[in-house]
Amino acid sequence: MTQQRRTALITGAGRNIGRAVALGLAEDGFNVVLNGSSDRVACDGVAEAARSFGVEAMVVMGDVGSAAECARIAGEAIRRFGAVDVLVNNAALRPAKPFLEMAEDEWRRVIAVDMDAAVWLSRACLPGMLARGWGRIVNFTGMNAMHGYAGRAPVSVAKHGVWGLTKALGKEFGLKGITVNAISPGPIAADEQRTEAADIAYRASAVAKVPVGREGTPAEVAAVARMLVSDGGAYVNGQMLQVNGGAQT
């Protein structure tokens, strides 16, 4: 089975968008490697659900904010399946803090998880993609890559960086049968919504800017990822697809 199926590695796969992407790719026939940083139980649950589609699933926990951990995570997937054919860089931190109050280690931590992880995981997975002459990298940016947000400077910087990485790698590897694209979600309903008044007000404010008048769902975002890695998505490369209900600001 592992010789016949393509394999997808998804970071932040335990819940929300990552979970939906992992299960969508499993439904499409990909073996899946599920990465999370802390909630092993959630990742194991996704793996169990993925196996119901008749594919193989493995969990590799680890901190993608570390270059060494990125190499280990990808290495375990490659040892099991021979290569990672599809890389989905979904894991991210989105802390809110005034710029002048942010410590150096806080800044670097966000950059490491939100941007550098895509660099190191791509470097680890690309050799196998090149050897097979086929590969797909899907990065996640979000509206932070389109607009700067007060109180989230490192997130905005990191996501702009991921967008730049997407364009550069798409041009460098397009002739090798590898496409690299980004998905920019708008307000997306989480598996477990926070109920604090400030969070409810924040979500309401975000939805008010969405012309379709609601939050999106993880499955709607996953549908775009599934298209990008499918044969039908082979001519989409170096793009950022906005899945945001038409929100512009």
- Give me the phi and psi of 38, to 5 degrees please: -145, -35
pLDDT tens per residue across span 120-150: 999 999 999 999 999 999 999 988 767 778 8
The two three-digit tokens of residue 149, written as one number: 């947000």
- Total count of residues recorded for the chain: 249
Look over the chain and give the mean of its residue pLDDT values, rounded to a whole number: 93
pLDDT tens per residue across span 208-244: 889 999 999 999 999 999 999 999 999 999 999 999 9
Residue closest to 125 by CA, chosen among 176, 160, 175, 159? 176
**Amino acid residing at 107:** W
Q: What confidence score (pLDDT) does residue 5 get?
A: 92
- What sign results for the dihedral spanned by CA atoms 227, 229, 235, 239? positive
Fold of 7-243: Rossmann fold (3.40.50)
Please tell me the distance from the alpha carbon of residue 178 to that of residue 134, in angstroms, as a whole number.
Answer: 5
pTM, full prediction: 0.94
Cβ 152 vs Cβ 95: under 8 Å: yes
